[in-house]
Amino acid sequence: MKFSKAKFIKFIEQQAPFMLVIACVASLRFVDSIAIVFPVLLITMALYAWRRYDSRILVGTAMLVLIVCTIFLATGRDPHANEAAIIAYYFLAMGVLGLFIDYLRLRR
């Protein structure tokens, strides 16, 4: 199956919101320096606002991470559950901010 350049760009644009979520989770999970993690989160939020991606993806990610958090708690892995809860909070905050930006755009 051969992709043309236009199809490839369209495919990347459709998958970009999900790739940004994966980049955020990876930076939050594997990087200990807030000097690196915070700019990744800011860039993600800026791209979601600029490209008008659906911010509900971020809220949905927060819900999924909270489900993982409850599984960690049920299996007795409290440190992992705490880390998952922090990640869920970041995604929820970004999602609410994105939805607020969408609300302000609609009011115009």
- Nearby residues of 80 by Cβ (< 8 Å), 6 or more positions away: 72
Say yes or no to pLDDT of 1 above 70.
no
How big is the chain, counted in residues? Answer: 108
More confident residue, 4 or 3: 4
- State pLDDT tens for residues 43-101: 999 999 999 999 999 999 999 999 999 999 999 999 999 999 999 999 999 999 999 99
Structural tokens at position 83? 């880390």
Do 65 and 88 meet the contact criterion of CB atoms below 8 Å apart? Answer: yes
- State pLDDT tens for residues 4-15: 888 888 888 899
- State pLDDT tens for residues 36-54: 888 999 999 999 999 999 9
Sign of the Cα torsion 84, 85, 87, 88 reads: positive
Say yes or no to pLDDT of 3 above 80.
no
Mean pLDDT of the chain: 91
Burial class from Cβ neighbours inside 10 Å (0-12, 13-18, 19+) for residue 36 reads exposed
Whole-model pTM over 0.95: no
Residue 71: the pLDDT is 96
In the chain, beta strands by DSSP E: none
